[in-house]
Structure formats: C-alpha cells, structure tokens
Amino acid sequence: MFEVITVIAVVLAIVIAVVLILAATKPAAFSVERTITIAAPAERIFPLINDFHQWGKWSPWENRDPAMKRSFSGAASGAGAIYGWEGNNNVGSGRMEILEASAPLKILIKLDFFKPFEGHNTAEFTMLPQGGTTYLSWVMRGPSSFISKLMQVFMNLDRMIGKDFEAGLANLKNLTEK
C-alpha cells in the first residue's frame, strides 16, 4: 500500500512540476487582436466606440448579465469618459477609461478588471478609412501575471477573448452598414 501511495505522490509531483514549468515559459505579456472591414465611413463607427453609453448596442458582454450594475462618470464621451460595471461571474467587475480619442481614427482605453481576476490592460480601436469602407482593428494588450500564465497552460486566451472581439466587431458592422 505504501508503494502505491508513493507512486501516486511522485506522479502528482511530476505533473505539478510540468505545469509550473510550462507556465513559466509563457510570455510576460499578451495581445489579442481581431479586425474587420466595414462598408461604412469611420465617422459612423467612431461614436459607437467613443461613447460608453453606446456600448450596449454592440458590446458582446453587455447582455451576459441582465442585472449588471453600470456607472458612467467623467466626460460624456472621448478622453476622460469612465464606465464601471459590476455583475455576475460572466462579466465580473471592472472599469474602463478612455485615455485618448483621435476622431475618427483611434480610441485608446485603460481597462481594469477587479473580479473574478484582477487585470490591468489597454484596449485600442483603430479605424483606417479605405474609400467607402473602414478597416477596424480591436486589440487588447496587458501583462501576464503568473496566475494568468498558469491559466494559459489550460486555455487559449487568444481564442477565448478573440471570439468575443469577433462578435463585437460583427455587431458594429451590422449597426453601421444599415
């Protein structure tokens, strides 16, 4: 019996060591980016992103918790606009602040998550007009804590966040191409 317990303990120690080593090899920062081409001018897209009050029309996270509490402060839109939320485990809690808004080409947002995991990232929307269309890019960047690196051993962060970005960009496309 002692031999079986010893074998199980050694195997468990090896598995834990492998997971820790894999986590340690993950990059110190992450970046998730998705793009879309929209048959609308950037001037039509920009206000939907630049005003947090408009995010309910297109953001993939806005309907995941019908009881989510939202707060708006600072500027009405653009640099200095602040949006806070507190919801269930699907949305957690956090805060966004627009740091830079260069109409109609770029919006830079400071993104702070508090629950279920703390994280401090930036999100950037870039619009490149191309004739009657706009090439829209949404990227999120941030540091990877060791806990984040451990999670990345078991899940693909790019795929997980990327599918939400794709949904949000598709919603913006549908709204602005009408």
pLDDT in tens, 43-61: 999 999 999 999 999 999 9
Q: Compare 132 and 137 and report the one with higher pLDDT.
A: 137
Query: Whole domain around residue 99: which residue ranges?
Result: 2-176
User: What Å distances lie between residue 26 and 94, 161, 178, CA to CA?
Assistant: 25, 17, 43
Task: Give, in degrees to the nearest 5, the angle at Cα 155 between 140 and 84.
Answer: 40
Here the CATH number for the domain that contains residue 22 is 3.30.530.20
Domain tally for the chain?
A: 1
For the stretch 143-176, pLDDT in tens is 988 788 888 888 888 898 999 999 999 999 999 9
pLDDT, average across residues 6-28: 89
- List, in order, residues 6 or more apart from 138 with CB less than 8 Å away: 33, 34, 35, 123, 124, 125, 165, 168, 169
